[in-house]
Structure 1
């Protein structure tokens, strides 16, 4: 089956997360693999949150993708977000880039190899729940010891000539602020506003985001090169600093009881992306110090992660990319987070490489070019061939 048709079929199956129901899309993949002679097993983290593994313990390579997508509303889309419409050299729809396009390219590569009468020198995993942290997906499979450390390629969208070998860290905090209520007409002479306390912390975070962090020379070179690629991809002024600095987003803030009452309660959900060289423990200590009326009621933290650029998986992937695209190819580190962080903690050597329009991640009119899908499939076929020869 043509890779663009596989991608279209996957996109047309709504797997928004939340709610995270992936049973239907996983069943599509199971049937597809069965049709080319590859047996697989479905792991049900819940009634609707399904994962799939096709494992060959004799192989040292795992090809992986997530099948959940972020929510989409129909308004303002050129084509409905779950149409999987193919037009103008694109497959359109939510998940086309992130990352059903990558999943389609994996499946097409597997089919091509099987059709050539060759064994598949890799295990496969398709998971749910990447978009909300992986608890029911990759983390669930790791807890069940269903995945075993090896070289792992995740088909997340990346720049065409630059596989990703590392991601910034991630810290999500839920902070609950308490104030002293009083009549609003007398504030600030009377009362302490929990909302203003939260705003003060947000103001302080600008100081944290301006700090610099030392790293070793080799990593610094990779960060500098990655910053250049990031700048070219997004064409945004100041984007070169994103990999070097702490970035933060006060995603949700909710507080107050009434407009004429000094706010007694305020809740803030704060997300931070942590650069290499930043001590998260010390960072959280400074945040608590600058939020004396705030209590951290929940926290999720992950250190920055990194795969050795000299490992065979990286060199093989770069070599196969160069065969298809030509030009200069080198690995980069990334600004966002993915399931790679969970796998690296368990000893996997992880690289990310896949098709997609990165500027349209999670955006209206998300789409992927048919050309990128076809080339990604060729690159995966080349990687499979190299691992079969080793």
Structure 2
């Protein structure tokens, strides 16, 4: 078996920043790795080297998935160059080591170990190019082309060691353009309508949305509370229940006005909200637009909150095998961020995110992953494949 640390180091050294999005290097590495073990695969590419890989064969009961793209890294402030893949001090260092080439390395190492044991692979392997930018050329493209069949899917995204993630808040992105009535700036607010101020009025309304609470069932509330405790322990984030139970918002981009002494005729606002369970996302958008009578929607992206049934056998299997490797009880949590899991759940997959990583370093300088965490993840993936392979061997 090839150790996951070696694979992770190799993958980190293959630069795949997104943007620009060229993932041909790591996908070629993965294909060569699988070819050498008799696992056939197809590489599906879009312009710009945005390459995905899907293994061939009849649909399997399990899918192991990961993204090979990484967020960009500047060289300043790094102990080791961000694309060195340095192995030092019990860690693999570099951009993508945690998010999520470490998880991919553990998948490949587990598959290698399974084949060495003479067993058939019970999983379809899928590696995609653009999770960091929304999945248009990656998981969404593969789903639109009917290249993936619904099954139980484990995405090797970094997660707390004892807590697989089974659900995520929803997402609402609105690209708004406000139009005002220009006039001499010295006469406002008596003359003219300021597009900038109209955007500000909407943001005051948006601020109040965070105070709303939404009903959830007792089982989900229990998981929300557990998730909150994990957030406090792993990230130092307090009030985790508010993060998961309430609307969070970010006016990420705002740009308006033509000149300091002219009442602004135009203002653009790119707004993002994360949507909790129990919130009607379409009613939310209607309410926002009702408070923005001078705005036109230039772009809209909506994703409902998603959840894999915490009582299903897939969750039970993953938690049991995590607990067995760590020697402690494992339990599922929810996540405030978004990933490819939402697209897969919408297509009928039962999805769990679980993988190795130093969570405090994600998207930051000195991103790294512990070699010990890679080895434990490899063992966990191997054990899960043993469970799903019983009917195939």
Interval containing the TM-score (normalised by the shorter chain): over 0.9
State the match for 2:14 in structure 1: 13
Residue 354, structure 1, aligned to residue 355, structure 2: yes
Aligned to 2:379: 378
Q: 1:207 to 1:121 in 2, by over 3 A?
A: same
In 2, the alpha carbon distance for the partners of 1:325 and 1:341 equals 28
Separation of aligned partners in 2, 1:211 and 1:275: 10
**What residue number does 1:34 align with?**
35
Change (3 A) 1:203 1:118: same
Residues in 2 aligned to 1:196 and 1:35: alpha-carbon distance in whole angstroms: 62
- Whether the 8 Å CA contact 2:303–2:342 is kept in 1: the answer is yes
What is the TM-score of this pair, normalised by structure 2?
0.96
Query: 1:1-390 residue pairs with structure 2 within 5 A?
Result: 1-57=2-58, 59-390=60-391
- Give the total of aligned pairs: 390
For 1:10 and 1:185, locate their aligned partners in 2 and report how far apart those are by CA, in whole Å.
Answer: 60
Q: Deviations over 1:94-118 (max 9, x none)?
A: 1111111111110111111112222
For residues 135-163 of structure 1, the C-alpha deviation after alignment (integer angstroms, 9 at most, x for no partner) is: 10001001111100111101011110010
Conserved? CA contact 1:161–1:328, under 8 Å: yes
Cα deviation code 1:238-280 (max 9, x no counterpart): 3331011111111111122222322211111111110000001
Q: Secondary structure at the match of 2:102?
A: helix
What SS does the corresponding residue of 1:252 show, helix, strand or coil?
strand
Once the two structures are superposed, what CA deviation does each residue of 1:341-373 show, in whole Å capped at 9, x if it has no partner?
A: 111111111111001122222222221111111
Q: Measure the CA separation in 2 of the matches of 1:192 and 1:284.
A: 23
Change (3 A) 1:257 1:58: closer
Instruction: State the 1:27 CA deviation.
Output: 0.6
SS in 2 for 1:333: strand
**What CA deviation, in whole Å up to 9, does each residue of 1:186-205 have, x standing for no partner?**
33333322122212222221
Distance across 2 between alignment mates of 1:255 and 1:93: 39
RMSD: 1.4
Residue 360 and residue 202 in structure 1: after superposition, are their counterparts in 2 closer, same or farther (change >3 A)? farther
Secondary structure of the structure 1 residue equivalent to 2:245: coil
Structure-1 separation of matches of 2:95 and 2:186:
48
Secondary structure in structure 2 of the residue aligned to 1:171: strand
CA drift of 1:47 comes to 4.6
Equivalent residue of 2:66, what SS?
strand
Is the 8 Å Cα contact of residues 307 and 349 (structure 1) preserved in structure 2? Answer: yes
- Is the contact between residue 179 and residue 265 of structure 1 (CA under 8 Å) also seen in structure 2? yes
Q: Is the 8 A contact 1:56 1:122 kept in 2?
A: no
Supply the distance in 2 between the matched residues of 1:37 and 1:80 (Cα, whole angstroms): 34
For 1:8 and 1:192, the matched residues in 2 are separated by: 57
The Cα shift of 1:58 comes to: 5.1
- TM-score, normalized by length of structure 1? 0.97
Shift of 1:323: 1.0
Deviation larger for 357-366 or 63-72: 357-366
Against the structure 1 CA distance between its residues 12 and 185, is the aligned structure 2 distance closer, same or farther, given a 3 Å change threshold?
farther
Aligned partners of 1:252 and 1:270 also within 8 Å: yes
CA distance in 1, matches of 2:22, 2:297: 30
Contact conserved, 1:231 with 1:240, CA < 8 A, in 2?
no
SS at match of 1:153: strand
* Secondary structure class of the residue paired with 1:336: coil
Residues 167-187 of structure 1 deviation map (CA, whole Å, 9 limit, x = unaligned): 110111101111222233333
